[in-house]
Amino acid sequence: MQAHASEPEVLNCKGLTMEFTDERKQRFKALDDVSISIGRGAVTGLIGPDGAGKTTFIRLAAGLFMPKSGTIQVLGFDVATHPRAVQSRVGYMPQKFGLYEDLTVLENLNLYADLHGIQRKTRSERYRQLMQMTNLDRFTNRLAGRLSGGMKQKLGLACTLVSTPDLLLLDEPTVGVDPLSRRELWEIVYTLVREQGITVLLSTSYLDEAERCDKTVLLFQGKVLATGSPSQISAIANGKSFRIDTPAPLKPRQLQARLVGADGIVDAVLDGSHVRIVTSGNNPISENPAVEGLTMSSILPRFEDGFMILLRGIAGKGVESIRPPLPSHAVSAAENAENVVVEVHDLFKRFGNFTAVENVSFNVRKGEIFGLLGPNGAGKSTTFRMLCGLLPASSGKLRVAGVDLRQARASARQRIGYVAQKFSLYGQLTVMENLEFFASAYGLRKSRKKERIDWALTQFGLETRIGSAGSELPGGYKQRLAMACALMHEPDILFLDEPTSGVDPLARREFWSRINTLADQGVTIIVTTHFMEEAEYCDRLVIMVDGRVLASGTPMFIRGKALSQKGGEPTMEEAFIGIVEAFRMTAEDVKHDAPN
Amino acid sequence: MTPQIDDRSARDDSGMRLGRIRSLIRKESLQVIRDPSSIAIALVLPVFLILLFGYALSLDVKEVPLALVLENPTPTATAVAGAFKLSNYFKVTMVSTMQEAITRMDDRSIDGIVRLAYDFDRALSSGGAPIQVIVRGVDANRGRFIEGYIQATLGGFMLQPAGGQAGAATGTVRIQSRMWFNEAVDSHYFLVPGLVVLIMTLTGGLLTALVMAREWELGTLEALFVTPVHAGEILIGKTVPYFFLGLVGLMLTASAGKFLFHVPLRGSVFILIAVSGLYLLVALGFGLFISSTTRNQFVAGQIVLMAAFLPALFLSGFIFDLASAPRAIRFVSCLFPARYFVSVLQTIFLAGDVWSVIIPNCIALTAMFLVFFSLTLLKTRKRLK
Crossing angle (nearest 10°) for helices A505-520 and A475-486:
20
Residue B20 counted as domain residue = no
B219 interaction partners in chain A (CB closer than 8 Å): 94-98
Domain count, chain A: 4
At residue A489, does pLDDT exceed 90? no
Residue ending a domain, choose from A201, A226, A251: A226
| Interchain proximity A2–B6, CB inside 8 Å | yes
Average pLDDT, integer, range A293-321: 75
Q: How far apart are CA A505 and CA B19, in angstroms?
A: 45
Kindly report whether the global pTM for this prediction surpasses the value 0.80: no
- Three-class SS string for A440-455? HHCCCCHHHHHHHHHH
Interface of A with B in 46-85 (CB under 8 A): 59, 62-66, 83-85
Model confidence band, residue A275 (pLDDT cutoffs 50, 70, 90): confident
Looking at residue B259, its pLDDT comes to 86
With CA atoms as reference, the chain B residue closest to A84 would be B228
Q: How far is A412 from chain B (nearest CA, A)?
A: 37
Mutate to test the interface with B, among A66, A74, A88, A123 (most CBs of B within 10 A): A88
Looking at residue B178, its pLDDT comes to 67
Interface of A with B in 381-400 (CB under 8 A): none
The minimal CB distance from B222 to the residues A2, A98, A122 is found for A98
Any idea how long chain A is? 596
Instruction: Summarize pLDDT for A10-52 with one digit per residue, the tens.
Output: 999 999 999 887 666 678 888 999 999 998 889 999 998 777 8
Average pLDDT, integer, range A204-212: 85
At residue A72, does pLDDT exceed 90? yes
Q: Which of A4-8, A73-77, A174-178, A214-218 has the lowest mean pLDDT?
A: A4-8
Q: Which of A116-120, A152-156, B9-13 has the lowest mean pLDDT?
A: B9-13
Domain count, chain B: 2
Looking at residue B169, its pLDDT comes to 43
Q: How far is A114 from chain B (nearest CA, A)?
A: 6
Average pLDDT, integer, range A41-66: 89
| Interchain proximity A164–B22, CB inside 8 Å | no
Q: State the virtual CA torsion across A440, A444, A448, A450 in degrees, nearest 10.
A: -10
Beta strands across the sheet bearing A69-74: A27-38, A11-21, A69-74, A77-78
Question: How many residue contacts between A and B have a Cβ separation below 8 Å?
Answer: 124
Residue B24 backbone phi and psi in degrees, to 5? -65, -35
Residue ending a domain, choose from B142, B170, B198: B170
More confident residue, A252 or B126: A252
At residue A2, does pLDDT exceed 50? no
B150 and B232 assigned to the same domain: no
Instruction: Summarize pLDDT for A131-149 with one digit per residue, the tens.
Output: 988 888 888 999 998 887 7
Residue A367 counted as domain residue = yes
Any idea how long chain B is? 385
A119 and A57 assigned to the same domain: yes
B158 and B209 assigned to the same domain: no
A56 and A203 assigned to the same domain: yes
Q: What residues are paired with A29 via a beta bridge?
A: A19
At residue A535, does pLDDT exceed 80? yes
A285 and A274 assigned to the same domain: yes
B43 and B129 assigned to the same domain: no
| Interchain proximity A92–B223, CB inside 8 Å | yes
Looking at residue B184, its pLDDT comes to 62
B202 and B331 assigned to the same domain: yes
Residue B181 counted as domain residue = no
A147 and A112 assigned to the same domain: yes
B320 and B235 assigned to the same domain: yes
Contact in structure between A15 and A172 (CB atoms under 8 Å): no
Q: What residues are paired with A269 via a beta bridge?
A: A276
Q: How far apart are CA A90 and CA B8, in angstroms?
A: 12
Residue B165 counted as domain residue = yes
Closest alpha carbon to B285 in B316, B315, B242? B242
Residue B114 counted as domain residue = yes
B312 and B342 assigned to the same domain: yes
Q: How far is A2 from chain B (nearest CA, A)?
A: 8
Contact in structure between A91 and B13 (CB atoms under 8 Å): no
Q: State the virtual CA torsion across A191, A194, A197, A198 in degrees, nearest 10.
A: 40
**Three-state secondary-structure class, residue A72:** strand
Q: How far apart are CA A138 and CA A131, in angstroms?
A: 8
A118 interaction partners in chain B (CB closer than 8 Å): 7
Model confidence band, residue A269 (pLDDT cutoffs 50, 70, 90): confident
With CA atoms as reference, the chain A residue closest to B24 would be A111
Crossing angle (nearest 10°) for helices A572-593 and A179-196:
90
Residue A247, domain CATH: 3.30.70
Average pLDDT, integer, range A186-199: 90
The minimal CB distance from B226 to the residues A64, A85, A103 is found for A64
Residue ending a domain, choose from B118, B139, B170: B170
Residues of B with CB under 8 A from a CB of A: 1-2, 4-8, 10-12, 14, 17, 19-20, 22-24, 26-27, 30-31, 34-35, 218-220, 222-230, 382-385
A218 and A159 assigned to the same domain: yes
Looking at residue B174, its pLDDT comes to 59
Q: How far apart are CA A558 and CA B371, in angstroms?
A: 66
A181 and A205 assigned to the same domain: yes
- Three-class SS string for A331-386? CHHHHCCCCEEEEEEEEEEEECCEEEEEEEEEEEECCCEEEEECCCCCCHHHHHHH
Residue A284 counted as domain residue = yes
More confident residue, A56 or B16: A56
Looking at residue B158, its pLDDT comes to 64
Q: In whole angstroms, how far apart are CA A413 and each of A64, A166, A380, A418?
A: 48, 56, 20, 10
The minimal CB distance from A117 to the residues B19, B30, B384 is found for B19
A508 and A564 assigned to the same domain: yes
Contact in structure between A401 and A341 (CB atoms under 8 Å): yes
A400 and A431 assigned to the same domain: no
Strands (E), chain B: 64-70, 90-95, 112-116, 131-135
Crossing angle (nearest 10°) for helices A149-161 and A120-134:
150
| Interchain proximity B20–A115, CB inside 8 Å | yes
B198 and B326 assigned to the same domain: yes
Flag whether residue A122 sits within 8 Å of chain B, measured between CB atoms. Answer: yes
Q: In whole angstroms, how far apart are CA A132 and each of A25, A125, A126, A136, A285?
A: 49, 11, 10, 7, 52
Residue A2 counted as domain residue = no
Amino acid identity for residue A198 in this structure:
I
Residue B361 counted as domain residue = yes
At residue A330, does pLDDT exceed 50? no
Instruction: Summarize pLDDT for A368-425 with one digit per residue, the tens.
Output: 999 998 877 788 888 888 888 888 888 888 888 877 777 766 667 788 888 887 767 7
A102 interaction partners in chain B (CB closer than 8 Å): 30-31, 34-35
At residue A203, does pLDDT exceed 90? yes
**3-state DSSP: chain B helix, strand, coil percent, rounded to 5?**
65, 5, 30
**Three-state secondary-structure class, residue A540:** strand
- Tell me the mean pLDDT per 10 residues along chain B, length 385: 39 68 92 84 81 72 84 82 83 87 88 85 73 83 82 70 45 61 68 81 84 86 88 89 87 84 85 91 90 86 88 80 81 87 87 88 92 84 70
B325 and B209 assigned to the same domain: yes
Looking at every residue in chain A, the average pLDDT score rounds to: 82
Q: How far is A491 from chain B (nearest CA, A)?
A: 36
Looking at residue B366, its pLDDT comes to 94
Q: How far apart are CA A522 and CA A332, in angstroms?
A: 7
**Three-state secondary-structure class, residue A44:** strand
B247 and B370 assigned to the same domain: yes
Residue A552, domain CATH: 3.40.50.300
Contact in structure between A374 and A544 (CB atoms under 8 Å): yes
The boundaries of the domain holding residue B151 are: 64-170
B75 and B197 assigned to the same domain: no
More confident residue, A301 or A477: A301
The boundaries of the domain holding residue A80 are: 11-226
Residue B177 counted as domain residue = no
- Three-class SS string for B192-217? HHHHHHHHHHHHHHHHHHHHHHHHHH
Q: How far is B251 from chain A (nearest CA, A)?
A: 28
A124 and A69 assigned to the same domain: yes
Residue A399 counted as domain residue = yes
- Three-class SS string for A149-178? HHHHHHHHHHHHHCCCCCEEEECCCCCCCC
Q: How far apart are CA A377 and CA B70, in angstroms?
A: 81
B164 and B208 assigned to the same domain: no
Q: How far apart are CA B310 and CA A155, in angstroms?
A: 43
Flag whether residue A196 sits within 8 Å of chain B, measured between CB atoms. Answer: yes
B369 and B282 assigned to the same domain: yes
With CA atoms as reference, the chain B residue closest to A157 would be B223
Residue B325 counted as domain residue = yes
Residue B102, domain CATH: 3.40.1710.10
Residue ending a domain, choose from A262, A293, A318: A318
A261 and A352 assigned to the same domain: no
Closest alpha carbon to A513 in A346, A380, A369, A349? A369
A222 and A291 assigned to the same domain: no
Strands (E), A179-301: 199-204, 215-220, 223-228, 241-244, 265-271, 274-279, 296-298
**Three-state secondary-structure class, residue A297:** strand
Q: How far apart are CA A274 and CA A196, in angstroms?
A: 42
Q: What is the DSSP letter of A469?
A: B
Looking at residue B22, its pLDDT comes to 92
Q: How far is A308 from chain B (nearest CA, A)?
A: 32
**Helices and strands (H, E) in chain B, number of each type:** 17, 4
Residue B18 counted as domain residue = no
Residue A200 counted as domain residue = yes
Mutate to test the interface with A, among B226, B229, B384 (most CBs of A within 10 A): B226
Interface of A with B in 498-537 (CB under 8 A): none
Contact in structure between B83 and B153 (CB atoms under 8 Å): yes
Residue ending a domain, choose from B125, B143, B170: B170
Q: How far apart are CA A74 and CA A10, in angstroms?
A: 6
| Interchain proximity A90–B6, CB inside 8 Å | no
At residue A563, does pLDDT exceed 90? no
- Three-class SS string for A190-206? HHHHHHHCCEEEEEECC
Residue A324 counted as domain residue = no
Residue ending a domain, choose from A191, A226, A261: A226
Beta strands across the sheet bearing B112-116: B90-95, B64-70, B112-116, B131-135
Q: How far is B294 from chain A (nearest CA, A)?
A: 16
A112 and A187 assigned to the same domain: yes
At residue A334, does pLDDT exceed 50? no
Q: How far apart are CA A99 and CA B214, in angstroms?
A: 12
